[in-house]
Amino acid sequence: MYGSKRKRRLHSVAVLLGPLSFGLTILLLEWFFGFKAAAALGTTVWMALWWILRPVNISVTAFVPIGVNALFDLIPMQQVISQYFSEIIVLLFGADLVCLTWATTGLDKRLAIKTLCCIGTSLRQQITVWLLVATVLSIFLPNVVVCTILVPVAVSMLQFIGEENIKNSKLAVPILLAIVWGAGIGGFGSPLGGAANLVAISYLEKLTGQEFMYIDWVVRFLPLLVLVLLLNLFFLFHLPVPVKRLAGTSEYFKEMYAQLGTIRLGEKISLVLFAAATLLAFIRPLYAGWLPALKPAYVFLIMGLLAFTFEDEDGKALLTWEFAEKGVMWGMLFLFAGGLALGSLVTETGAALKMAEAITLLPLTGGLETVFAFTLFSTVLTEISSNTAAAAIAVPVVQSIAQALGLNPIPYLFVAIVAFNSAYVLPVSIRAIPVSYGLDPAELFKNGLLLSLCSVLLITVVGYLFIRYWPLFSTV
C-alpha cells in the first residue's frame, strides 16, 4: 500500500512538473522574449521533462503543442496541425507499411540472421558498422530515410537474439544510438544530406555570387565529418554494456541461415518493395526533372500501398488492413509530428530569433568565443526543432552577425552547418524513430547531452583552428 501511494505521488509530481515548468519559463523569460516566444520555450521544457520522466506515454506528450497553442493562440493553428500529417509523416507511414510485410512473410528473420552473419557478433564491430553505414548513407540520402531503413533491421536483429524488450535492453542502446547519431552527422557530408544543406548553399551562393560546387562542399567538410564520426565512435565504445558480444556465433548464424532454405515468393516481393523504395529514394536526382512530385515520402507510400495488392506463395495477402491497423507504429508518427510542431512554435513565435538577438549582446570579436557562440546557438536550435528549421534561422543570423563584426562570414557559416547537423539529445526529428521502437528517451537524453557538449567543444576548437590555419576553409 505504501509503495503504491508513493508511486502515485511521484507520478503526480512528474505530471505537474510539466505545466509548472512551462509557467516558470514564461515568468523568467517573458521580459526578454515576450509572452509568445517564452511560451514556446516553456513548451519545449514541458515536453522535455515529460519525455524524460514519462508520466504519460511519450506519444501523448507529442500533442502538447496543440493544447498549448489552443489555449494561448501563439501561432495560427494550421501551422501546428499541418505538422501531424506532413510529408515526413507520409514517408514514415509508407515505410512502416513496407516493413510490416517483413513479419507476415518471415523476411524479418532472414534479414536479422543475414545481418548477424555479415557484421559478426562483436558489439564493437556492430557499433562500428551501424555507425559507418548510417553515416555514409545519410551523405547521399535524407537522414529520416536512412533511419527508416536501418532501425527496423537492427531491431529485428536484436529481437531475434532474445532482446525482445528493446526498452529494457542494454545491448539495443549503443546500436540504435549508432544508427540515429550516424544518420544525423552524415547529413553534412554532402549537399544531398538534407534540405538544411540546400538552405545553406542558397545563402552561400547569394553571398559569393557564384555556384558552390558539390565537390567543394565535400573537400571542406570531410575532415570535420571524420573527426565528429570518431568522437561518436569513441563515445559509443565507452557506453556501459553487460556483454562484449551478442548471443551466438557467426558460424551458428551461418548454419541457421542455410536452414532457412531458398527465399520464398512472399519474402521476394517484400524485399523488392523495400529495395525499390530505397533505390528510388537514392537515385531521385536522376528522375526529379520528369517526376518532380515523386519524392521519397511518396515512393515509400506507393510501395506500402502495393503491399496490399500482392499475395504470397500460399495465396495469402502480403498485407491486410486489419494487420496494418494493429502493426503501424502510430506512436512514432505522432512523436515525430510533435517534434515538428514544437519546432513550428519555436520558430514562428520568434523565440529562435530572440535567441539570436541575445548573441548580439555578447562581446564577440571573431575569435574562439565567436565560434563557440555560433556553434552553441546552431546546436540548440536543431535540438528543439529540425535541422532544416535550424538552418533557415542560423545561417542568416550567423552571416549578419559576422558581417556586422567585419568578419568573413563564410568559415563561420561552415561551422554552423556542422553544428545544425549534430543533434543528440531530445526525441525530436529523426531521434523520434529509435525511441518509438523502444529506445528509452532517458538513455537518449543522458548519453546525448554529454556527447552534445563534447561535440560543441570539438566543433568549436577544430572550426577555430581551420579558420586560423586553413585558407581553403574561408573560401568557396
Q: What is the pLDDT along the chain (476 residues), one digit of tens a residue?
A: 445 777 888 888 889 999 999 999 999 999 999 999 999 999 989 988 898 888 988 889 989 999 999 999 999 999 999 989 888 888 889 988 998 898 889 888 888 888 888 888 889 999 999 999 999 888 877 788 888 888 988 998 898 888 888 888 989 999 999 999 999 999 888 776 666 777 788 878 888 887 777 778 888 899 999 999 999 999 999 998 888 888 777 787 888 888 888 899 999 999 999 899 888 887 887 888 899 899 888 999 999 999 999 998 999 999 999 999 988 888 888 887 888 888 889 888 988 788 878 887 888 888 899 999 999 999 988 887 777 777 877 888 888 888 888 889 899 999 999 998 888 988 888 888 899 888 988 899 999 999 999 999 999 999 999 999 998 888 76
Show which of 285, 307, 329 is a domain's final residue: 329
Whether 295 is in a domain gets the answer yes
Whether 150 is in a domain gets the answer yes
User: What is the number of domains present in the chain?
Assistant: 2
Whether residue 119 sits in one domain with residue 41:
no
pLDDT of residue 459: 96
236-242 contact pairs (CB < 8 A, 24+): 236/127, 236/131, 236/174, 236/177, 236/178, 236/181, 237/124, 237/127, 239/173, 239/174, 239/177, 239/447, 240/170, 241/123, 241/170, 241/171, 241/173, 241/174, 242/170, 242/171
Could you list the residue range(s) of the whole structural domain that residue 11 is in? 1-74
pLDDT of residue 1: 46
Whether residue 189 sits in one domain with residue 280:
yes
Whether 314 is in a domain gets the answer yes
pLDDT of residue 143: 83
Whether 363 is in a domain gets the answer no
Whether residue 156 sits in one domain with residue 265:
yes
Whether 391 is in a domain gets the answer no
Whether residue 94 sits in one domain with residue 56:
no
Whether residue 242 sits in one domain with residue 104:
yes
Pick from 303, 302, 320: which is nearest to 311 by CA? 320
Distance CA 463, CA 226 (A): 13
Whether residue 192 sits in one domain with residue 248:
yes
248: left (phi over 0), alpha (psi -120 to 50) or beta: left
Whether residue 64 sits in one domain with residue 89:
no
pLDDT of residue 3: 59
53-63 pLDDT, tens digit each: 889 888 899 89
Distance CA 46, CA 21 (A): 6
Whether residue 152 sits in one domain with residue 68:
no
Number of neighbouring beta carbons within 10 Å of residue 93: 20
pLDDT of residue 247: 79
Q: Is the pTM of this model over 0.85?
A: no
Whether residue 28 sits in one domain with residue 131:
no
179-190 pLDDT, tens digit each: 999 999 998 887
351, 448 in Cβ contact below 8 A? no
pLDDT of residue 192: 65
Whether 344 is in a domain gets the answer no
Please give the grid coordinates belonging to residue 406.
567585419
Whether residue 64 sits in one domain with residue 188:
no
69, 80 in Cβ contact below 8 A? yes
Whether residue 305 sits in one domain with residue 176:
yes
386, 449 in Cβ contact below 8 A? no
Whether residue 67 sits in one domain with residue 91:
no
The strand pairing partners of 98, in sequence order, are: none
Show which of 329, 351, 384 is a domain's final residue: 329
Number of neighbouring beta carbons within 10 Å of residue 331: 17
Whether 92 is in a domain gets the answer yes
Show which of 19, 52, 74 is a domain's final residue: 74
Whether 346 is in a domain gets the answer no
